[in-house]
Chain A
Amino acid sequence: MKRTKSINLERMRKVSKYSPVKPLTLVVAASSLVACGDSREAAIYSNVEHCSQDNPSLTQECKAAYQDALAKSSKSGPKYTSKSSCVEEFGENNCTVYHASNGNNWFMPAMAGFMFSQVIGRNHYDSAPLYTSYSRRSPVYGQWSTVDGDLYGKRKYGNVRVGNNAFKSKPAVVKTMSRGGFGSTVSAKSSWGGSSSKSGWGG
């Protein structure tokens, strides 16, 4: 047979399902608490002490997990150019200054807690930062949110069951200085011979 043996038609079915363009910075998505399959136990703590009290034999692990969560937060957490837009999303007294490498300052929510979870079958612990909001207008109000805006339910400490990808590395988020530096040739060439064409720049 010289053709593809089988195709997953479910995946190919569309009915106009292009992924929507997301709005700015924090994009809130449906809860990522999962019931079965690709999931594991995690505990949510507010800080190192909280974690150590619960796990007296794991003080070092708690420290490391907390530091790791902080690092992930500054790498991948939501960032805002103005304090007011951060406050609008996360509430008063909940935004901190983030010093970017080139000396610019921007604002991001303080890490309100972190997830702590043993890697199944290994003597190693994963962590991930969590945010919450004190602003009633925010969808994150009273909830836990991950760096990429997944909501993990009501803000309370203790045990949760989460998907494994909660601990996967997340894309870094940085301040965008400008947009539109690609695509200029296409508009120049399009202006030749009428404005609209079905065809793009494929050959």
Chain B
Amino acid sequence: MLRCRTSERLHWRKRADEFGFKFHTLYDEPYWDESVYYQFTLQQIEKHIESPTEELHQMCLAVVDKVVRDEQLMRKFCIPEHHWDWIARSWKSGEKSLYSRLDLAYGGQGPAKLYENNADTPTSLYETGFWQWLWLEDKVNSGDLMRNADQFNSLQEKLVNRFLDMRHGHEGQVLHLACCKDTEEDRGTVQYLEDCANEAGIPTKFVYVEDIGQGEGDVYTDLDDQVITWMFKLYPWEFMLREEYSPMLEKAEVSWVEPPWKAILSNKALMPLLWKMFPNHPNLLASYFEEDLPGSNLKNYVKKPIFAREGANVSIHIDGVETEASPGPYGDEGFIFQEYYPLPSFGDAYTLIGSWLVDDKAAGISVREDKCKITQDLSRYVPHIIAG
């Protein structure tokens, strides 16, 4: 695993306009950075990332299967009690999921370590599935990179195939897609999924989360008063389960993507439970709930809120003393404590691997760099290749 400097494509900003990539620069700082790329060997990809990703995912699903059958754990995961049955049913009836992203600490050697599972509303999907793919095409076509350079990135292909799969059972139905207002990145992610669904022949319609209505007869409606029956929402279950329209969730009979059981899979409480069920697994970091911390011998750890986005409210503790912390509005629901395992650094950059899954299959990676040890939403996205 190498960090390589390279020249930017001459007209890449024009190319970004052409393909609707609108958030490549944020607050005058680059978010998409193609002045560098990472180079992996095929063995690193297959042995250290691809197969552990699928194994970790199966372990996480095993946790979900345990939690839905255990009221105490449902409480631990802060799932509101009146939704327990509904969520358990969505799991037991095998409702299909679309995608998720495991965040891994990996620097080229040794086992990758799982930081967390973004299973409900992962972003940087477009940059991964399409934009870095296009970057490689362009770089190879211009002779900048060798023709045999590859990329671990079958994300778009797998998304389209997954939508094809989901189409059966939703024949003739419109898939509504939703995200919140005023977020270019989320809107771009949803537009991308809409493109993938259309490619699979599914008719789609967009509605903002805030514009969803309650129709008579306990249904959800869009702005044209059409009943929503099948919906992708880029909005976390942990929020939805607590909002005004949540009591209707059970009656409305919407087929949700991601399905309700993702409320468990995307929860940080997953981490201590994984450690309990699969202790000392090479791809796991020791993790504990607050009450188990004293007996754990964990001195260097990261404290993370059970619900949080983009690295907010995370703090690093060395010998029990807080050394670094990120601000944020989260933490009311409690925290988990995870063994301190710093991100590998390449030069002045800390590097985080996002490993994607579609339909239980590893589907590619995204690489993000940050100047801080806690990756937040202002980290840079850099492309990668496989060579050798």
Least distance between A104 CB and chain B CB atoms (Å): 7
Q: Are A15 and B18 in contact (CB under 8 A)?
A: yes
A8, A189, A193: which contacts B199 (Cβ < 8 A)?
A8
Is A37's CB within 8 Å of the partner chain B?
no
Is B339's CB within 8 Å of the partner chain A?
no
**How far, in angstroms, from A72 to B58 measured CA to CA in the complex?**
44
Q: Are B154 and A196 in contact (CB under 8 A)?
A: no
Given contacts A198-B183, A203-B123, contact A173 B329 (CB under 8 A): no
**Can you report 25 A-B residue pairs in the complex whose CB atoms are below 8 A from each other?**
A3-B154, A4-B153, A4-B157, A7-B133, A12-B19, A14-B19, A24-B223, A102-B216, A104-B216, A171-B226, A176-B215, A177-B213, A181-B244, A182-B244, A184-B244, A186-B180, A186-B209, A198-B23, A198-B27, A200-B185, A201-B121, A201-B235, A202-B122, A202-B123, A203-B116
Q: Are B224 and A22 in contact (CB under 8 A)?
A: yes
Given contacts A7-B133, A193-B329, A203-B310, contact A179 B211 (CB under 8 A): yes
**How far, in angstroms, from A180 to B235 measured CA to CA in the complex?**
14
Least distance between B104 CB and chain A CB atoms (Å): 14
**How far, in angstroms, from A197 to B329 measured CA to CA in the complex?**
14
Is B219's CB within 8 Å of the partner chain A?
yes
Is B17's CB within 8 Å of the partner chain A?
yes
Across the interface, name the chain B residue whose C-beta is closest to A19.
B206
Q: Are B20 and A17 in contact (CB under 8 A)?
A: yes
Using a CB-CB cutoff of 8 Å, which residues 161-189 of chain B contact chain A? 172, 174, 179-187, 189
Q: Are B130 and A7 in contact (CB under 8 A)?
A: yes
Is A156's CB within 8 Å of the partner chain B?
no
CB-CB under 8 A from A188, the residues of chain B are 329
Least distance between A189 CB and chain B CB atoms (Å): 5
**How far, in angstroms, from A2 to B122 measured CA to CA in the complex?**
21
Tally of chain B residues near chain A (CB < 8 A): 87
Least distance between A151 CB and chain B CB atoms (Å): 16
Report which A residues bind B (CB closer than 8 A): 1-5, 7-8, 11-19, 21-22, 24-25, 27, 79, 100-102, 104, 168-169, 171-186, 188-189, 192-193, 196-203
Q: Are A201 and B186 in contact (CB under 8 A)?
A: yes
B130, B194, B235: which contacts A186 (Cβ < 8 A)?
B235
CB-CB under 8 A from B195, the residues of chain A are 11-12
Q: Are A185 and B239 in contact (CB under 8 A)?
A: yes
Is B320's CB within 8 Å of the partner chain A?
no
Given contacts A11-B195, A201-B121, A203-B118, contact A3 B18 (CB under 8 A): no
Contact mask for chain B residues 188-213; partner A; CB cutoff 8 A; 1 contact, 0 none: 01010011001100000110111111
Q: Are A182 and B245 in contact (CB under 8 A)?
A: yes
Across the interface, name the chain A residue whose C-beta is closest to B376.
A199
CB-CB under 8 A from A201, the residues of chain B are 121, 180, 183, 186, 234-236, 239, 309
Using a CB-CB cutoff of 8 Å, which residues 93-119 of chain B contact chain A? 101, 116, 118
Is B52's CB within 8 Å of the partner chain A?
no
Given contacts A7-B130, A13-B19, A198-B23, contact A182 B224 (CB under 8 A): no
**How far, in angstroms, from A64 to B121 measured CA to CA in the complex?**
46
Q: Are A202 and B225 in contact (CB under 8 A)?
A: no
